[in-house]
Amino acid sequence: MVQLHIVLFALFFHALDLVTGILYACKRKEVCSSKLRNGLFKKCGFLICYLMAYVIDTYGYLIGFDIGINTLRGIVAFAVATEVVSILENCCKLNPKLKAKKVMQIFNISHDNEGEDKNDI
């Protein structure tokens, strides 16, 4: 049951990233189905990783594949971290009063590619 809660936690952040990306695209009047499709494929990639990690964590011992750590938690932690950065970037783009540099500093996120617009949606 804990495994399901972990995945639902990640799905919340995936959905929030999708919503903020769509809102930003609507704001710019640049809603593009191919960008939306690419974003959804990326989300599906995460879902496949979650499924693979769940199977490894739950049934890996049957074939001698017991690595001793919870891989699902690690994959979800990575996915949520990437989504949080994307959500914060989208929020800063939606509201010009939010200064991206300051918001990223609050969350202790360094950003090497300042000014790059990696709009997935």
- Residue with the bigger pLDDT between 23 and 116: it is 23
pLDDT greater than 60 at residue 115: no
In a domain, 32, yes or no: yes
Task: Tell me how many domains the chain contains.
Answer: 1
In a domain, 79, yes or no: yes
In a domain, 102, yes or no: yes
Give, for 22, the enclosing helix (H) or strand (E).
helix 2-27
In a domain, 29, yes or no: yes
pLDDT of residue 40: 93
In a domain, 19, yes or no: yes
pLDDT greater than 50 at residue 7: yes
The residue range of the domain holding 98 is: 2-106
Please say whether the beta carbons of 80 and 13 come within 8 A.
Answer: yes
pTM of the model: 0.78
Calpha distance 80→99 (Å, rounded): 22
**pLDDT category of residue 74 using cuts at 50, 70 and 90:** very high
In a domain, 63, yes or no: yes
pLDDT of residue 33: 87
pLDDT of residue 112: 58
Cα–Cα nearest to 46, from 20, 23, 80, 70: 80
Give, for 52, the enclosing helix (H) or strand (E).
helix 33-59
